Structure 1
């Protein structure tokens, strides 16, 4: 149990470093009052959206809490201890609350760090980078520390990993809606602002005359920061919960906490060492921090494995997962990096029109899925066979350990990911506050690195989600075996399994379509509103009058909240329907189909979207005609297609897969006893 207590201690250390970074960023100067005013508008809009979204999700949480109390771990009318049901509900509510807190922490620091990074850009790229990165590190360390401490405390109280599954379900269910809602909000505003501003009116990206510009910057926070924080909080705790369920019968719980604890410690050291080198490449600094963290984690865990007499095979599985995660990130960098050939080729294709932008970008997105999927498959295969000789149950523990290894440096991953929207916002507020072209040049370079970092971290998180849900599939199998004494075999020749697989494969596509259609509908409404303001507000075009920013924020908020519930419920209801129709065998097929289809779509959309975004920036940097050219307009259209791909549907699929996997494990015995077939 020593590592469980050490997990809490290292989490407290992470909170301390996060608090230090928070105060360090907050004390940095702000350029002028105009910048403060713009920042206040963004902050107010972000928290307004979050409050309205969380009120709706609180009702959802109350309904699910009532269901859990009645049914889990056993129906209250079956004669079991009601106290167990109360603990399950408490764990679920705790997970939901901490996942929501991750969003609040993210927005709180991001809406400060964007102003400080913009101001620091007046002095150069190094101080601006450090302000943005340390702002992101607050998010990274706080999220991982909270998830690790939460899991440790719940395990100490209950001693039951199945209760940790309830904690994970709370985090996942809120993350599903938070990521979907934030993604719809941010891309509604982004698409409307780009199409009306850049394409129709020929004004700069963050021109204060554009009524959608504040909503666009608010969206960076509610989608890319709050939603992403909840998403990776969910991925981290889901991997831990799955590994703990498999590890408990084998007496390896301590090893799981050892990996998670040392991973967080490595991330703390990594973010403290992060600096911009002499050559001043933000991408190199972000990637270098990731590699340093990986090396520290490898050395720390090897030492702990030898010192505590853990199996080197289990350690090898964890390192396999970490290495494959880095490889997936590198392949994502190749397809999305602004200094790589795919981005240049898509930018060049834009000279021939938007159709060629779309065709080339989508093709590269499809190509990018192969190395990542092969990597996930190899990580599962290697870790499975590496640990199988240790005895029965260890092969699946090997896969679970690989997932933990891939997520071991998640503190650094979140820091890099949160850096992206912070410097994107810094660029926006710098333009609105009129800080000058030199500042915009600095923030553009930071923003391009942020886009690449986001693509890499999304590839990393998708890969981790892939291994995690494979582990959750094993968890589902283990839950049924422990409760019913039956080992389920998912034979695709079994029509029940095949039925489930077909439905499961369709759900990520339907889920994505609903989110993208939501963005489409809301963007059209906002475009109409922008046209109305330019046509009816005298002096708006000339810059002598102010637009009604609040109206665009309201359109994005109302639309996102209206659209997020149906998409999330579709995935949940489909899982329950398959389970009660076909039983546990159909659910096994459902999860298999959902995993394969979901990972493919998530990778394609994430990488294609990142490629289109950096293709646009490549043209804006002066290539192929530069800003205002036909190639630029085509590249902007490609970027608007890619926006809901990479920031709404793509990353939300990770959480959708995790949610249906957790629901399957929680409802496993009901599916076993109450199915139609």
Structure 2
């Protein structure tokens, strides 16, 4: 069954991992600077490693419990494929590895970037970006490796089946390892987000507002914990998050391709391989794009953004060209239309990124207006930020609507009838693959942000000169924008990926009848299950707005999004209160801190953040795992359809609002700190610091965690589809 062209996928995975190792080795060869710079970097590394070890211990316990449950469903009740427990474990393991390697590179890079800035801005930019590329290339490399291994193994062990069901079975099993990745990603995102924001809020409120000392001042006890948090949240968390998005988009599209061309076996394999090949070629072009990033000394923020954008945009343009020839070679029906869907996905990703940049970068009016509102105090800063965040959600929503419509239309020749539904859904899935095809370099720009932030912190704490601090500040401010853009991109990709997964849910329902429950002749909308279409299953389960089960599910999906956001926000608040109390205690009881003659107890603050994150991350994570199972048991397949619809739509809008509002508050503070509107220490500055503390859990905890919630709830529904089909009360 395998085609020789599939070899591109595992070869590309090895190339990506090789270049990640090369960039890591190059970074490690550069100097870490003075003894003090090295000591500070070592504090951060130890704190990040200690946190991650503790988190993985908890995650391993959770994975053991879930694997036992999946094994019971597969081997006891017979309502799940017997490969699923193993796929679940490998998905989580590879996701955890991606986060670990990315964080390791980031914690070794920060002091080296600060030291490079002692020479030039360009050297600092290149080193920070290529260190971020380690994360990007490790993520895509491990995804492609995991897919390659599973595809080869399952192709060998799954017996041949008539009617194209072998590929349906293989892709359906492979899709389930995405749940392992999603579960690991949610723990990483929620735990890391709580950790970093507890430290950040404590450092800002007591250090900047009460004590009047600069950000990253070594006299602030929470500074090291804040820098550790940047790595465990924005590096390890983001890496695990986008690992799952990349894998899920490829695998959901492969399953939809297998379903769309199920009666065309000569075409079916090529439709399954198409998303894998596009992702592989996009990875190769991402590697090329990394080498294009450079800038001149004294570059402005817009010039720095342009420097990063060059690598991303050139890679995107080249994948547009390459994907056309890939689809032409694979000879898919209407390959030009399917190529159009890929272009739509790429343009949608760029559009969401540009929209996010406009609403969050200090170079544009929305963020400047928030800073100006600080003249009348923190209340107006918060009001202005909320308003800006709400408005900012409109453009990404419109972009996603247009992308869905055009992707479906291009793939079907703008035939919106039910007879072309499967091919249209394949178009939406491959648009998600298009959006994520250059993830290797896109994620590099995002991982660059916390590396630059930590470099600035190291420079401040090490007492480097004003010129060096100016360079690290420029890289840090750029990092705030790239981080906000990256979060918008991640949330946008989650929306398209979740839609592809939602469509895959019904293909899993079909597989449940045909292969797992062995009821291929059961009538579905008066058609035997083995011959029933996607639309037949929708009709059979009455998935429409007049079905109260669907409506109830939609409301429950919206509820889950808001409850999850509230719990994660409150978790940050509780952990931050403990951090504020601890920082105040140290200022009060340790003589000589403010004079710089005594070193604060950094370890105690790291310990508070670690314990707070571990304690608080369980409840929101369990919500995402349990609600789909409960809704499926009570309301069956229609309830799940409504639940996922409500979760995807409300979760996407709320996530964009929170990420953009938080990013705008953060950069409004940076705008003032650059010397505008009174500069550091002014009343306007204090007001924007308050706004930033409100925005911290918005942009770094609840907002980015929502895109994982969306995908994990869909994944949990897909993996437990046998329960919803076989056992439900209504």
Q: 1:253 aligns with which of 261, 272, 278?
A: 272
Matches within 5 A, 1:88-107: 88-107=84-103
Q: 1:504 aligns with which of 551, 557, 560?
A: 557
Indicate whether 1:237 and 2:247 are aligned: yes
TM-superposition CA deviations, 1:499-523 (whole Å, max 9, x none): 0000001111111111110110010
Indicate whether 1:148 and 2:144 are aligned: yes
Q: 1:22 aligns with which of 16, 20, 24?
A: 24
- The whole-number CA distance in structure 1 between the counterparts of 2:105 and 2:178 is 25
Q: Does the CA-based 8 Å contact 2:254-2:273 persist in structure 1?
A: no
Match of 1:306 in 2: 328
Q: Does the CA-based 8 Å contact 2:320-2:342 persist in structure 1?
A: no
- The whole-number CA distance in structure 1 between the counterparts of 2:173 and 2:68 is 16
Match of 1:432 in 2: 461
Match of 1:658 in 2: 711
Q: 1:6 aligns with which of 5, 8, 26?
A: 8
TM-score norm. by structure 1 comes to 0.97
Indicate whether 1:126 and 2:136 are aligned: no
CA apart distance, 1:531: 1.0
Change (3 A) 1:279 1:202: closer
Match of 1:372 in 2: 396
Match of 1:265 in 2: 284
- The whole-number CA distance in structure 1 between the counterparts of 2:77 and 2:691 is 57
CA apart distance, 1:661: 0.2
Q: Does the CA-based 8 Å contact 2:17-2:138 persist in structure 1?
A: yes
CA apart distance, 1:386: 1.6
Match of 1:539 in 2: 592
TM-superposition CA deviations, 1:586-628 (whole Å, max 9, x none): 1000000000110011000000001000000000011111000
Indicate whether 1:327 and 2:348 are aligned: no
CA apart distance, 1:278: 7.0
TM-score norm. by structure 2 comes to 0.90
Matches within 5 A, 1:598-637: 598-637=651-690
Q: Does the CA-based 8 Å contact 2:121-2:298 persist in structure 1?
A: no
Q: Does the CA-based 8 Å contact 1:506-1:597 persist in structure 2?
A: no
TM-superposition CA deviations, 1:255-289 (whole Å, max 9, x none): 12121111111111111222225773321111222
- The whole-number CA distance in structure 1 between the counterparts of 2:394 and 2:412 is 27
RMSD: 1.4
- The whole-number CA distance in structure 2 between the counterparts of 1:71 and 1:104 is 31
Q: 1:487 aligns with which of 537, 546, 562?
A: 537
- The whole-number CA distance in structure 2 between the counterparts of 1:43 and 1:6 is 36
Unpaired runs of 5+ residues, structure 1, are: none
- Runs of 4 or more, structure 1, over 4 Å off, are 389-392
- The whole-number CA distance in structure 1 between the counterparts of 2:219 and 2:280 is 49
Match of 1:294 in 2: 316
Q: 1:61 aligns with which of 60, 63, 81?
A: 63
CA apart distance, 1:112: 1.1
- The whole-number CA distance in structure 1 between the counterparts of 2:439 and 2:5 is 19
Q: 2:487 aligns with which of 451, 455, 458?
A: 458
What SS does structure 2 have at the residue aligned with 1:623?
A: coil
What SS does structure 1 have at the residue aligned with 2:291?
A: helix
Which range moved further: 508-517 or 154-163? 154-163
Q: How many correspondences in the alignment?
A: 671
Q: Does the CA-based 8 Å contact 1:321-1:402 persist in structure 2?
A: yes
Match of 1:338 in 2: 362
Indicate whether 1:554 and 2:556 are aligned: no
Matches within 5 A, 1:22-61: 22-61=24-63
- The whole-number CA distance in structure 1 between the counterparts of 2:32 and 2:601 is 25
Q: Does the CA-based 8 Å contact 1:19-1:138 persist in structure 2?
A: yes
Match of 1:386 in 2: 410
- The whole-number CA distance in structure 1 between the counterparts of 2:10 and 2:326 is 17
- The whole-number CA distance in structure 2 between the counterparts of 1:342 and 1:545 is 42
CA apart distance, 1:195: 0.4
Matches within 5 A, 1:519-538: 519-538=572-591
Q: Does the CA-based 8 Å contact 2:67-2:85 persist in structure 1?
A: yes
CA apart distance, 1:644: 0.4
CA apart distance, 1:309: 2.6
TM-superposition CA deviations, 1:344-393 (whole Å, max 9, x none): 11110011110110111111111110110111111111111221249552
Unpaired runs of 5+ residues, structure 2, are: 156-169, 262-267, 514-528, 530-535
Match of 1:355 in 2: 379
- The whole-number CA distance in structure 2 between the counterparts of 1:173 and 1:345 is 39
TM-superposition CA deviations, 1:394-449 (whole Å, max 9, x none): 11101101111111111111100000000000000111111121111101111111
TM-superposition CA deviations, 1:72-110 (whole Å, max 9, x none): 3xx4354x9x9x52x322211111111111111011100
- The whole-number CA distance in structure 1 between the counterparts of 2:222 and 2:484 is 25
- The whole-number CA distance in structure 1 between the counterparts of 2:4 and 2:684 is 60
Q: 1:421 aligns with which of 450, 456, 472?
A: 450
TM-superposition CA deviations, 1:3-37 (whole Å, max 9, x none): 43211101111111111110111101122011000
What SS does structure 1 have at the residue aligned with 2:207?
A: helix
Q: Does the CA-based 8 Å contact 1:277-1:285 persist in structure 2?
A: no
Indicate whether 1:672 and 2:725 are aligned: yes
CA apart distance, 1:458: 1.2
- The whole-number CA distance in structure 1 between the counterparts of 2:185 and 2:619 is 15
Q: Does the CA-based 8 Å contact 1:3-1:257 persist in structure 2?
A: no
Match of 2:525 in 1: none
Which range moved further: 662-671 or 616-625? 662-671
- The whole-number CA distance in structure 2 between the counterparts of 1:308 and 1:65 is 37
TM-superposition CA deviations, 1:551-578 (whole Å, max 9, x none): 0000000000000011110122111111
